[in-house]
Amino acid sequence: MTETTATESVTAMPRLGDPAPAFTAKTTQGDINFPGDYEGSWVILFSHPADFTPVCTSEFMTFASMQEDFAGLNTKLVGLSVDGLYSHIAWLRTIKEKITFRDMKDVEVTFPLIEDITMEIARAYGMIMPGEDSTKAVRAVFVIDPAGMIRTIIYYPLSLGRNFDELRRVVIALQTADAFDVATPADWRPGEPVIVPPAGSCGVAQDRMDGEQDGVTCVDWFFCTKEITVEQVDAAVLVN
């Protein structure tokens, strides 16, 4: 079998639980020192393949329209592509002046968009996947916590626009898990029961049995849930 050369330019990818690789960069909002400038905030660091492309345009308009919503979750947005700053500026101006998508128009992107013409940052974050394209970043999403640790990584191919409702759900679920020392089940939404992790995995008592005790309902020793209301989740995750 012939060895692929696709991996030759790929460096180690950061993993969940790793500190976010540090860098300084020029952005459409000035220079940034990452993740140091974001200490105390959650961050969604995301890459897009190229300026002046339609799927990316729809994503930027959607991110920009949700920026306040994410700010309410103490979450800041930072974009990146391997295009240069003048391309970024021209593209974002075009979006504001000309593009309508769904019910969005006159959309101003005010979160920073990093220029990464050397691909140094994209490589450090494993955003270049040569099997997709060796000269563009894929649609990578890194959710980074206030201590600068990588908590979720999601990759989408060039052809597939991201699901922003899911990105919002991920941020709320991570913050809820941290605040209540719980896990969240499949398709969890605020107001639905959360998972109380099995004994030993999160310092939970060892003698849990079937039934209900202290608000924890167990259907077996390894499957226990408890109720957390929407109001409790809101109180834990919403700022202001």
The yes or no reply on residue 56 touching ligand BEZ (CB under 6 A) is: yes
CB of 47 to ligand BEZ, least distance (A): 11
* Interface with ligand BEZ, residue 50, by CB under 6 A: yes
Work out which of 13, 25, 32, 55 binds ligand BEZ, going by CB under 6 A: 55
Q: Which residues of 187-222 are buried (b: 16+ CB within 10 A; e: fewer)?
A: ebebeeebbbbbeeeeeeeeebeeeeeeeeebeeee
> Within 13 A of 141's CA, how many CA atoms are on the CB side?
22
Binders of ligand BEZ among residues 133 to 162 (CB under 6 A) are 158-159
Stretch that binds ligand BEZ, among 20-28, 48-56, 142-150, 190-198 (CB under 6 A): 48-56
Query: Long-range contacts made by residues 156-160, C-beta under 8 angstroms, separation at least 24?
Result: 157/132, 158/49, 158/55, 158/132, 158/133, 159/55, 160/55
Q: Decide if residue 53 touches ligand BEZ (CB under 6 A).
A: yes
The residue among 51 and 145 lying less far from ligand BEZ, judged by its C-beta, is 51
Stretch that binds ligand BEZ, among 15-23, 49-57, 69-77, 140-148 (CB under 6 A): 49-57
Distance CA(111)–CA(89), nearest Å, equals 12
Does an H or E element contain 185, and which? none
At position 231, the amino acid (one-letter code) is E
In angstroms, what is the minimal distance from the CB of 19 to ligand BEZ? Answer: 30
- Nearer to ligand BEZ among residue 61 and residue 177 (C-beta): 61
Active site residues: 56
Rounded to an integer, what distance in angstroms lies between the CA atom of residue 219 and that of residue 192? 16
Assess contact for 12 and 127: CB atoms under 8 A. Answer: no
Among 54, 131, 185, 215, indicate the residue that binds ligand BEZ (CB under 6 A): 54
Stretch that binds ligand BEZ, among 26-34, 50-58, 78-86, 170-178 (CB under 6 A): 50-58
9: its two tokens = 């330019």
Q: How many residues bind ligand BEZ (CB under 6 A)?
A: 8
Quick one: 13 or 55, whose CB is closer to ligand BEZ? 55
Least Å from the CB of residue 50 to ligand BEZ? 5
Query: Are the C-beta atoms of residues 55 and 161 closer than 8 Å to each other?
Result: yes
- Secondary structure of residue 140 in the 3-state scheme: strand
Contact positions toward ligand BEZ, by CB under 6 A? 49-50, 53-56, 158-159
